Amino acid sequence: MSTFKAQDKIKMKTDKDLLIKGLKFIGYTVALMFSAPVVLYQAFKNEAHPLYWPVLILGLILAILAIGMGFYSIKVIMDALFSKKNK
């Protein structure tokens, strides 16, 4: 015989608004994942150009942002799927 009552069961529903926000962040992450290597390639291809250092720094910043946005977007999606709302 089960000792759990019906009200003790936890209903976990997906927070659709938060899931959509997470998917938008995934889109931004994918854009950064493609743009960062392109900018870095252009910087290394033109080492003699006077804008070498600013382009290189921009590429490194984009690469760091891509990694950070990747972790953040996965966190938002996990929160949307597995967290319960506190009302």
Tell me whether residue 3 is in a domain: no
Tell me whether residue 56 is in a domain: yes
Tell me whether residue 1 is in a domain: no
Give the Cα separation of 19 and 68 in Å (integer): 18
Tell me whether residue 87 is in a domain: no
| pLDDT given at position 85 | 61
| pLDDT given at position 4 | 56
Please write the tens of the pLDDT for every residue from 9-59. 566 688 889 999 999 999 999 999 999 999 999 999 999 999 999 999 999
Query: Crossing angle for the helix pair 52-82 and 16-45, nearest 10 degrees?
Result: 160
Tell me whether residue 9 is in a domain: no
Listed residue (26, 9, 1) closest to 80, CA to CA: 26
The percent helix, strand, coil of the chain (3-state, each to 5) is 75, 0, 25
Tell me whether residue 29 is in a domain: yes
| pLDDT given at position 1 | 52
pTM for this predicted structure:
0.77
Listed residue (15, 3, 30) closest to 76, CA to CA: 15
Tell me whether residue 8 is in a domain: no
Tell me whether residue 7 is in a domain: no
Domain count, the chain: 1
Q: How many residues does the chain have?
A: 87
Domain that holds residue 33: 14-82
